[in-house]
Amino acid sequence: MRTAIVAAMHEELAAVLALMPDEARQSAAGRDFWVGHLHGREVVAVLCRIGKVAAATTAAVLAERFQVDRLVFTGVAGGLAAGVHVGDVVLADSFLQHDLDASPLFPKYEVPLYGSSRFATDRELTCRLESAARIALPGVAVHRGLVVSGDRFVATTSESRALQAALPQALAVEMEGAAIAQVCHDYGLPFAAVRTISDRADDDAHTDFARFVSEVASRHSAAIVRALLAQP
């Protein structure tokens, strides 16, 4: 069982690599893939960089070249739904691209020729990741539901409100998950994603995000990944 751990930012990857005693670098597609062990389990850790295309490339290389058996994404997101606060944790049960619109040819948000706008994560892996998050971060609120992705950092209250109105089920917004979900769907690869809320995707998002990533997000990611790989 080989697990891919994908992070979007340097701080998060560094915290995961600090838990790996034997990582060896392999380069592909302009990225460094770190192959080794964590808690005695085979792991490939990688920085996917930011945005849907970067995330999709990374996921495809993990499936094709590294032959991983499951993929876990760990990172941060902006909170959208009313009860989702900075510091909370969100597990995605499905993803949607909020910036995809091929209407009138296809319904808004639908991925053309897939017949669907949402891609589900793997239920069993998501349950494992949720229990890992609850064990690793006692006292932290954990949510599970729809997460939306787009190639935009949402940093104004008006855009956040527009997203909430258009997609009232969305718990959080980020920039990679829906792309990875679609690639994993194509490869039949179990996928789960955990996001710590770094900001509320509003006018304060930029400052909240910067502070949060350096202070909290990387510790959260590493703790959750460690708890996941410690599971029997």
- Which residues are tagged catalytic? 12, 199
For ligand ADE, which is the closer residue by CB, 53 or 127? 53
98/209 Cα distance (integer angstroms):
20
Contact indicator for 98, 147 with CB cutoff of 8 Å: no
At closest approach, how far in Å is the CB of 165 from ligand ADE? Answer: 17
Beta strands in the chain (DSSP E): 2-7, 24-28, 31-38, 41-47, 70-79, 89-97, 118-120, 142-149, 170-174, 191-199
Contact indicator for 45, 218 with CB cutoff of 8 Å: no
For ligand ADE, which is the closer residue by CB, 63 or 155? 155
At closest approach, how far in Å is the CB of 8 from ligand ADE? Answer: 8
Contact indicator for 27, 61 with CB cutoff of 8 Å: no
Q: Interface with ligand ADE by CB under 6 A: which residues?
A: 76-78, 153-155, 173-175, 198-199, 201, 205, 209
At closest approach, how far in Å is the CB of 27 from ligand ADE? Answer: 27
Contact indicator for 79, 11 with CB cutoff of 8 Å: no
11/219 Cα distance (integer angstroms):
9
2/4 Cα distance (integer angstroms):
7
Q: Report which residue's Cβ sits closest to ligand ADE.
A: 78
For ligand ADE, which is the closer residue by CB, 141 or 210? 210
At closest approach, how far in Å is the CB of 153 from ligand ADE? Answer: 4
For ligand ADE, which is the closer residue by CB, 61 or 147? 147
Count Cα atoms within 13 angstroms, Cβ side, for 8. 24
